[in-house]
Chain A
Amino acid sequence: MKVSLNWLKKYVPVELDNAAYESRMIMTGTGVEGMEDLGAELQNVVVGKVLTCEDHPNSDHLHICTVDVGEQEPLQIVCGAPNVKAGLLVPVAKVGAVLPGDFHIKKGKLRGVESFGMLCSSTEMGVPVELYPSVGDAGLLIFNEDYPVGTDVREIFGFNDTVVDFEILANRPDCLCVWGVARETAAALNAPLSLPEITVKECGEGSIHDYATVTVENQELCTRYAARVVKNVRIAPSPMWLRQYLHAAGMRSINNIVDITNFIMLETGHPMHAFDLSKVKGRKIVVRNSRENETLTTLDGKEYALTGQELMICDEQNPTGLAGIMGGEESEITEETKEILFECAAFDRTSTRLTARRLGIRTESSGRFERGVSPATVMEALERACQMVNELDAGDVVPGVIDIYPNPVKPAKLSVPVDYINRRTGVTVPGEEMKRILEKLCFEVELKDNVLHVTAPAFRQDIEQMADISEEVLRYAGYEHIPSTGLKGETTQGGLNEKTSRHFKLQDMLSGMGAYECMNYSFISRKVINQMGFDAADARNNPVCIRNPLGEDTACMRTTLLCGVFKTVSTNQRGGNEEGRIYELGSIYDGFARTEENLPVEHDTLAIAVWGGKEDFYSLRGMVEAIMKQLGVKARIEKGVENYMHPGRRAQFVAENGTVICQLGQVHPDTAEKFDMNDKTYVCELSVEALFECAEKLGHVSPIYRTPAVSRDLAFVMDDSVQLGPVMDEMMKACGDKLEEIRLFDVFRGVQVGEGKKSAAFNLMLRGKDQTLTEEEINAAVKKAIKAAEKFGAILRS
């Protein structure tokens, strides 16, 4: 919220420099986002009087002027403006002046005549028409008031000001105004606060009730409605000081009445509205809900269809405005307005917010009602507005007020032990000091037996409980005084949870295997799911969907990590990373399965992708096998089923209990194309939960047998289609516990072994557990192994 420092200083002295003021405010909870010196871009421009003005001999439009700027000698300035003439007071940019846009004024020569400066238009000085009336670009700005020559124009335009952009916390809507910031400033600087005394001069005859009536039908959404009538309205431009304040706050000056409503909003935080009473049918204001099929045309000329839920300001017949959001076109203030009704009200936060959101209108007023406007201070603001009418002589205030306030807000009363506050904050502050701080913040305080009996000021709707008082005290006792103390009490045993420690384990293993962890968003799109080509019945086709997604690409929750991983692979391949190993660990969200709380089941999942270099199906499988081996997971490999994989190069690992732990394989060329990947990419998706469920906990270690091991090599020729895994399993089974390990050490295909055949050579490691194996035992075992292989049509090579 932007506040003019000049305006603020009317109510509280600020003697610190800007930087010190900023840091003091920040440390007491009123953030400062920035400070802007309004005059920074306009230097050395002063009021000058044109003494003489003659035509330039070498030009049909230039004039040669002499201008008195309050110096010993008048300046000669060549000026091209059509409206320049002798006797005018105009802004003069002297040599060395700076204009907005970092435009520096130097001595110059125009068509042979020397010029010592420039006479300025409003545009050249960055002065909007509503701040100072002028012809804009068409000519010089001409001062109508009798300013002394040599006066710095920044004083005239109110540019000798700093605008502070305050960042007000969500619980402090009362600070969204000059008075609010002034109160905080007074407390922060321990400076006197002098808010204006409000008195209204009424015009003597009649009563407001002769002019208008107000009915509030929905008192839940309109907790207070106050009104005043002004007659004999004299619409005019606002005085300079008011225009300056509005300009500094980033608002445009319109006319005295509209400016008063804006001024009140900025000063007190209460949005106001002014109706042209003659245009209010029946001179009746009704605050009620809209009716279905009603429409409203707002001040900005837009028509809205209403639903019956909006709180409306209506006349006898029709809605004229959206309560707290925007007024209607019909009763707008115009040059001809003679009688007005000022509205100052409190509307419900939620209702205002929902209506503003539904209709897509956001105004300064709706923003304030959404954050909370206290009904308690409504009358104060309305009276201040009428005081302004008196001051600006903008009309005659009709005697009497309308104030519909059936349930006055009671100020919060709390009894807070001094000790409670000190125990909570850890800072020891004496009760007397607490009392002083709270009183500075406009609380009423009685300190008795070390208990503070506190009444919060009416504008502080955020004060509800003792903890709130502790914060008020701490803010001004100083957050910088909070001590640094260690945790006391019973010691606790800290540690990782299971999921985190699982992740750490997997990450360490994968790092060791040269893989890098990547992360993708948890989102997926239906389009991308379709590209995966899951079977129609696959649950992964039905993700959990977000009702208000950022876009189509991020509309659903991922049912597989692979879409993201494919994207990452593609990014890498296109980025020139010719080989690589990446993985992602994260949740996928089940579209069907629900927890006891009816939340989607989240599956902890690992996906790995490898590509390029020496990577192939077996290198990826090796990574998965290494992880399973490390965790003591026993699983068999089976043919895979995923459509996004190469039909002849896909597999799944199935645990002994039948749980599928992972799917792995080479990506299908079609999938590769859809995701813009090289098809020599190998991927796997693994259920971390299944993996660790099948993990064998390290219990008792097995003994190490000291008997010598015997190594035998066997080579077979067999059909190329024979799977070696089952052959080896069968050999292992046949030999019983004498065969410790069987290892494939060579596979060969070629003319020597015949078309469609392969040779496979195995190394058998045999060992007796209690006794050294005898030659007969070894031979018997080897024979069994050969027999087992022969079942698969394998023939022993001699």
Chain B
Amino acid sequence: MGIREDLVRIGEEMRAQLNEATTSQQLDQIRVSVLGKKGALTALLRGMGQIPAEERPAMGQIINEKREELTALLDEKQQELKQKEKEIRLQKEALDITEPRDVPEIGAVHPNQLVLREVLDCFTGLGFDVVEGPEIELDHYNFELLNLPKNHPARDAQDTFYVDDNMVLRTHTSPVQARTMLSRKPPIRIVCPGRVFRADEIDATHSPVFHQIEGLVIDENVTMGDLKGTLDAFAKKLYGADITTRFRPSFFPFTEPSAEVDLTCFNCRGKGCRMCKGTGYIEVLGCGMVNPKVLEMCGIDSTKYSGFAFGIGLERITMLRYGIQDMRLMYEGDLRFLRQFR
């Protein structure tokens, strides 16, 4: 038998084996049995010594060609098997995608704060600065500078908590406005969010602790129209483009003229419903042109500057917004309530 015949036989045998092979191990065995140190093809190369010297180069070339051919075959088969094995593994790894597992929980801010963020977003966008001040406040800032001198009857209406004769739990965030007017020069555009206190017994719509957001603008030639424009922008941003404001005459010691502001009921969009008692409007905030006396007391020349102020009850708009019927829920902290505000 010649080497050529042997090569053909080795090749055919290997092809047959490859056809049978189904695992990488089998493939490795085949590789060793043919190409390994003791393999059939290696044996042929070793036997080259017995071939006449002049034939050796040609013979060597044939064997090497065969080796390359068989190596390629093996590699190809190996790829094929790997692919198959991967497919099987992937099949085995299939998951029950419906099996329930732990879900990482994402918490939430207080509903008040959700609304506060929207409100501040609106006003900072209009060029308002957020300013805060102390919650325990001097009578001077909480009342006197706001045209509520000692023994003014409106102070009774405010149901003030007193710490001593000169110190109160602020009844509104207006003292922050007074402080700002004293420390800054116009133009002033600020919003003052914060906690305020009134001696109200706790029930579904009253709380001794609640939050306000007050706004103040002081500049030359500020009009009540500018106030309406600003509040219109606020109403539309928070509740939608179809919402309008309605101003009604009112009275506050720190503004003149003063207005109570109703918004189109955002439940029925003005058609009239239970929430707005059929009127199509909801009372939302109080506002007005800053009383010139307040400007003067706060060191601002009322002949040169005018301004407006408004005050929004955060709890009120939050309750309206989410249909919360009982204010106490907001101060109870029950997770079943808090989890609803995402």
Contact = CB atoms under 8 A, between A and B. Distances in A.
Interface string A466-510: 111011001100011011111111111111110110011001001
B251 A513 contact: no
A485 B223 contact: yes
Interface in B172-221: 187, 189, 193, 195, 197, 199, 201, 207-209, 217, 219-221
A170 B251 contact: yes
A107 B123 CA distance: 68
Interface in B76-121: 104-110, 112-113, 117, 120
B144 interface: no
The interface centre, meaning the residue of A371, A496, A500, A519 with most chain B CB atoms within 10 A of its CB, is: A519
B130 A471 contact: no
A739 interface: no
Contact of B229 (A486, A489, A497): A486
Contact of B257 (A471, A486, A512, A517): A471
Contact of B132 (A483, A500, A513): A500
A327 B66 CA distance: 132
Interface string B162-177: 1110010100000000
Contact of A517 (B108, B135, B151, B230): B108
Nearest to A570: B333
A495 B292 contact: no
A28 B260 CA distance: 12
Nearest to B151: A350
Contacts of A600: 136, 163
Given A547-B162, A577-B335, A587-B135, A489 B220 contact: yes
Interface stretch (B27-35, B49-57, B241-249, B268-276): B241-249
B143 to A, nearest CB: 14
A479 B289 CA distance: 13
B154 A485 contact: no
B124 interface: yes
A554 B331 CA distance: 14
B256 A467 contact: yes
A518 B137 contact: no
The interface centre, meaning the residue of A465, A485, A597, A600 with most chain B CB atoms within 10 A of its CB, is: A485
Given A470-B257, A575-B334, A599-B134, A496 B120 contact: yes
A169 B251 contact: yes
B225 A427 contact: yes
Given A467-B289, A480-B247, A520-B333, A485 B225 contact: yes
Interface string A20-34: 000000111100000
A550 B136 contact: no
A387 B224 CA distance: 46
A503 B110 CA distance: 12
A599 B293 contact: no
Contacts of A515: 107
A484 B209 contact: no
A487 B125 CA distance: 12
Nearest to A521: B209
B276 to A, nearest CB: 14
Q: What DSSP secondary structure best describes chain B's contact surface?
A: mixed
B292 A484 contact: no
B107 A516 contact: yes
B120 to A, nearest CB: 7
A546 interface: yes
A514 B130 contact: no
Interface string B261-291: 0000000000000000000000000000101
B290 to A, nearest CB: 9
A255 interface: no
Contacts of B187: 489-490, 492
Given A467-B257, A568-B332, A577-B336, A424 B223 contact: yes
Contacts of A3: none
B131 interface: yes
B153 interface: yes
B195 A586 contact: yes
Contacts of B230: 486-487
A582 B136 contact: no
Nearest to B141: A597
Contacts of B108: 511, 516-517
A545 interface: yes
B136 A517 contact: no
Contacts of A479: 247-249, 259
Nearest to B201: A550
Contacts of B330: 519
B197 A517 contact: no
**A: contact size bracket:** 35 or more
Nearest to A467: B256
A602 B333 contact: no
Nearest to A547: B162
Interface residues of B, number: 86
Contacts, number: 252
Interface string B124-159: 111111111011111000000000000101101100
A159 interface: no
Interface in B304-342: 306, 330-336, 338-339
A492 B127 contact: yes
Contact of B189 (A487, A516, A599): A487
B136 A424 contact: no
B250 interface: yes
A549 interface: yes
A581 B332 CA distance: 15
Contact of A425 (B128, B197, B257): B257
Contacts of A504: 117
B223 A425 contact: yes
A176 interface: no
Given A487-B230, A554-B208, A599-B136, A507 B109 contact: yes
A46 B134 CA distance: 67
A423 B221 CA distance: 7
Contacts of A26: 248
Interface in A581-638: 581-582, 584, 586-587, 589, 595, 597, 599-600, 602
B107 A484 contact: no
Given A489-B221, A518-B110, A602-B135, A170 B249 contact: no
A572 interface: yes
A511 B112 contact: no
A549 B107 CA distance: 34
Nearest to B125: A494
Contact of B126 (A370, A426, A487): A487
Nearest to B261: A479
A489 B219 contact: yes
A497 B129 contact: yes
A636 to B, nearest CB: 28
B49 to A, nearest CB: 46
A470 B291 CA distance: 11
Nearest to A511: B107
Contact of A27 (B209, B249, B289, B291): B249
A461 B207 CA distance: 34
Nearest to B208: A550
A769 interface: no
21 contacts: A27-B248, A170-B251, A423-B306, A426-B228, A427-B225, A471-B249, A471-B256, A480-B247, A485-B225, A487-B229, A491-B127, A492-B128, A494-B126, A511-B109, A515-B107, A520-B331, A523-B208, A546-B161, A572-B333, A589-B136, A602-B134
Interface of A: 26-29, 169-172, 349-350, 353-354, 370-371, 423-427, 465-468, 470-471, 474-475, 479-480, 482-497, 499-500, 503-504, 507, 510-523, 544-550, 554, 557, 568, 571-572, 575, 577, 580-582, 584, 586-587, 589, 595, 597, 599-600, 602
A-B pairs with lowest CB-CB distance, top 5: A426-B225, A518-B333, A29-B249, A426-B223, A568-B333
Given A520-B333, A557-B169, A602-B135, 19 more contacts: A353-B156, A426-B228, A465-B293, A474-B257, A484-B228, A485-B223, A486-B229, A487-B189, A494-B126, A497-B132, A507-B113, A517-B108, A519-B110, A522-B209, A544-B163, A550-B201, A582-B338, A587-B135, A589-B135
